[in-house]
């Protein structure tokens, strides 16, 4: 990566306090394959072998980065949680599955009552299916990810009303 591009990324971070980090991934043959922008307070996953510039990005910055020859800009913009709802978060990076097999009923959907220790989904990581158990009890008020969607460590999967 050229020094002038790094300097531009650092300037973008200085100018936009709401951006937490910019991650640039190197693809095959040394080409830069993707750029990911995350909001302040969002933790990026394992960054081994990648360039991560921490701080912030303005709304037009992703477009500017794409125009500079980078692909795959994916801003992380989770919706703020209501104060009384508890969150069930992903304990790992992987692929989220809402049901034990294709065509089966989901473990938990909006309106489902979950108990502590109850399986709420599966996250596939490195070809291993990991059952994720709820750490809270209550009624599911929001499912925050879609079936077969990639998830990151700490990403909110469900929001649960403990008083429901």
Q: Is the pLDDT of residue 44 over 90?
A: no
Model confidence pTM above 0.85: no
86-161 is a CATH 3.40.50.620 domain: no
Contact predicate 50/32, CB 8 Å: no
Q: How confident is the model at residue 31 (pLDDT cuts 50, 70, 90)?
A: low
Q: Can you tell me which residue has the tokens 């599911």? A: 140
139 vs 12 pLDDT, higher one: 139
Q: What is the mean pLDDT of the chain?
A: 74
DSSP 141: E
Token pair belonging to 5? 């591009």
Name the strand (E) or helix (H) holding 26: strand 19-26
Beta bridge partners of 114: 138
Interval 103-151: pLDDT, tens: 999 999 999 999 999 999 999 998 899 999 999 999 999 999 999 999 9
Q: Is the pLDDT of residue 15 over 70?
A: yes
What is the Cβ-side half-sphere exposure of residue 136, based on CA atoms within 13 angstroms? Answer: 20
What is the pLDDT at residue 1? 55
Write out the residue limits of the CATH 2.40.50.100 domain(s) in the chain: 86-161
Query: How many beta carbons lie within 10 A of that of residue 128, not counting itself?
Result: 10
Q: Rounded distance, CA 135 to CA 18, Å?
A: 30
Mean pLDDT of 16-28: 66
């Amino acid at each position: 990566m050229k020094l002038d591009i790094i300097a531009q990324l650092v300037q973008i971070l200085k100018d936009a306090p709401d951006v937490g980090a910019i991650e640039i991934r190197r693809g095959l043959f040394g080409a830069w394959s993707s750029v990911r922008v995350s909001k302040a307070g969002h933790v990026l996953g394992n960054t081994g072998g990648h360039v991560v510039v921490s701080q912030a990005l303005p709304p037009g910055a992703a477009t500017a980065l794409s125009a500079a020859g980078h692909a795959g800009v994916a801003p992380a913009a989770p919706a703020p949680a209501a104060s009384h709802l508890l969150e069930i978060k992903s304990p790992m990076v992987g692929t989220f599955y809402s049901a034990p097999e294709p065509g089966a009923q989901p473990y938990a959907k909006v309106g489902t009552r979950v108990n502590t220790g109850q399986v709420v989904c599966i996250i596939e990581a490195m070809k291993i299916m990991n059952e994720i158990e709820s750490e809270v009890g209550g009624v599911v008020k929001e499912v925050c990810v879609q079936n077969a969607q990639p998830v990151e460590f700490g990403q909110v999967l469900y929001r649960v009303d403990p008083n429901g």
